[in-house]
Amino acid sequence: MSGQLLMIAIGPVQDFIAQARRTRDLWHGSHLLSELSRYTARMLAEGGAELIFPALEAGHVELEYTADPWRNEDRTQPALNIANVILAHVKGDAATAETLARTARDELFRFWHDEVAGAVQKKVSAKNGDPGLLQKGTEDVWDEQIDSLLEFVAAWDAVGDGPGSYKAARDRLARAIAGRKNLRDFEQWHVPRPGAPKSSLDGARVSMLAKDRASKLFRTYRIEGQEQLDAVGLVKRCGGKPEQFVPLTNIALASWLKAAAEDPKAARELGSLRKACRETAGLEGLGYVWRNLPGLDPFRHDAALLLQSRWMPLFEKGLGFSDWRAWTKDHVRRLLAAMSEPVPYVACLVADGDYMGKTIDALADDAAGMERHRAFSKKLSEFANVARDIVEQDHMGSLVYSGGDDVLAFLSLPEALGCAEDLRRGFEKLMEDAVPAGAVPADTKPPSLSVGIGIGHVQESMGELLELGRRAEKLAKGGDIENEEARRNALAIILDKRSGGVRKWRAQWPDDPAKTLSADVKALRDSLSTRKVYQIAETLARLPAPGRVGAGENWSLVLVSEVMRLLKRAGEGELAPVDVGLALDVGEPYDVLYHRLSAWIDRVLIARFIVGSLPSAKAGVAKEVPA
């Protein structure tokens, strides 16, 4: 196996993906990063390198560029997501590896500028009498913004045949890549555009948009009145086909729409609404999503029209449809009257594998380390399809990204918890096959999956929702927990209500958080009143924080007594702590009881919000919702 080990990291990653205002921005950002990594891997394979991560051979279909997420016309075979760090074995000396890396870099930058960004530039430029999206005379600004985006970091080192040689070389490359990425390049813009507004995505680059906004493309790509997009933002917004992207509201209301489609009275009103959306002149801008997703089957137009708070901006400002009051009365209000009120909140699910670095290191620590890594890489790539089926087919969600052990998806609230549980089980089962018995030392922690669910309002920006999901995933990882055994392998939920503050809850998978929350949901429906929960929360707020309790003061007794008194209050259903999933013992330290009760309050109020999101048809004849 003598030769060179070559590692390449493509960026930017997190910031590039997070700069998003719409579903298409977020999805296309992650898709573009995967495609740029795919093209780099292809250049290495065609140059004679043996790919390890990803474990693909030259000529493999998964090394071919794809503009959308599917490999076939009937959209049943999704393209493989390629991670942004590529590892390959190169036969030859250091000069050979350097030449290959430089060639790959030059080809990647050409591909990005000419074929990816260039295609979008042509699409949004003036033609056939339409003025286009771009301000005239900004070609040089476009080129500079596009050419300054990509980060390409490469390192290579000799690798031998001896035991530990592959692992040592890989470790050296990882350190070198990390060290270089910690150094930032700060270059001034050489082609300024004085007085131009900044991009709405991040404010780092100036907008490329025309001032007069006369082009019909502004409506096609849902670029709103004051929104500004730079060259990179335009590539993300306009790079795909508008009809392939799922509106976030459709994901949030997937469970509600399914329930409506299954109720005879509501189904009739839903069918009438679908027909009106297709046939009413002036509503073409509502679009029609062709994605083959179960969650879209009941309704493929923009579900924002089901939210009364969105009617004015959607119809009048967005579509220029002035007759929306009469139209919604005839076609939307009757459906709303037949169902429980739709809840305009969505779940952003972010999952990440645990102990993956240690597992990969352990697999490398062998004379056959490279072969083991290639086998592990192939197995890990299977999880992308497993995750897609779980998210989209089983739980009516939309998968934004699944590469290796990373998952990013959006789901309706009623489906989020079950999806997290299924992803965890699917990942652990696949890892059992990927790491066979005896392949790693017995004391190596088996890979697990930490999942964060961030719940936010559908009108928040995509970047804010993604940040909420990432905060939840970080909470699940438990990096600030002192006890190593209590870290990772967990589920965490963060609920950010517009008018109710933030609630957080975390539990490890062995403690069965899904079962715990299900029990809370049942208790809230059967016996536990929300009023009691808030009374307990108010009581806890009046008690001293653990750090302010003096020695000899028995606040544990006070806390337990107050909680028991409130739960037993007559006329509201007499309960004990154990009846509501709460363990309290006056013999325990006050700080333990205090934090446990605080976590219980957050958990139950999160469960209450989930209960409120469960859709149901209204009994009796549908009546019109008041205007």
Domains of the chain: which residue ranges? 1-242, 248-342, 512-627
Which of 399, 292, 302, 301 minimizes the C-alpha distance to 348? 399
- Mean pLDDT in runs of 10 for the chain (627 residues)? 92 79 84 94 97 95 85 73 94 97 98 96 94 94 94 95 88 93 71 84 89 90 88 91 83 97 97 93 78 90 93 77 88 95 97 94 84 92 92 95 91 97 96 86 91 97 92 97 94 93 96 94 91 95 90 89 90 85 94 96 96 83 39
pLDDT of residue 76: 65
- Are the beta carbons of 335 and 273 closer than 8 angstroms? yes
Radius of gyration for the chain, computed over Cα atoms and rounded to the nearest angstrom: 27
Angstrom distances, CA of residue 337 to CA of 96, 302, 344, 627:
70, 19, 16, 11
CA dihedral of residues 515, 516, 521, 522 (deg, nearest 10)? 70
The bridge status of strand 490-497 relative to strand 448-457 is parallel
- Close Cβ partners of 437 (under 8 Å, ≥ 6 residues apart): none
The bridge status of strand 3-11 relative to strand 85-90 is antiparallel
Indicate the SS3 state at residue 33.
helix
- Close Cβ partners of 119 (under 8 Å, ≥ 6 residues apart): 239
Distance CA 371, CA 375 (A): 6
Q: What is the pTM of this model?
A: 0.91
pLDDT of residue 316: 75
Which of 464, 535, 522 minimizes the C-alpha distance to 494? 464
Residue pointed to by tokens 């090394």: 63
Distance CA 420, CA 406 (A): 13
State the DSSP H helix or E strand holding residue 475, giving kind and residue range, or none if neither.
helix 462-477
Tokens representing residue 500 in the block: 């109710």
- Close Cβ partners of 357 (under 8 Å, ≥ 6 residues apart): none
pLDDT of residue 172: 95
State the DSSP H helix or E strand holding residue 539, giving kind and residue range, or none if neither.
helix 530-542
- Close Cβ partners of 360 (under 8 Å, ≥ 6 residues apart): 373, 376
Q: Which fold has domain 1-242?
A: Alpha-Beta Plaits (3.30.70)
Residue type, 31: H
- Could you report how far apart the first and last alpha carbons of the chain are, in Å? 74
Indicate the SS3 state at residue 518.
helix
DSSP designation for 524: H
Contacts 24+ apart (CB under 8 A), 393-397: 393/294, 394/419, 394/422, 395/419, 395/422, 396/251, 396/254, 396/255, 396/258, 396/293, 396/294, 396/295, 397/251, 397/254, 397/295, 397/349
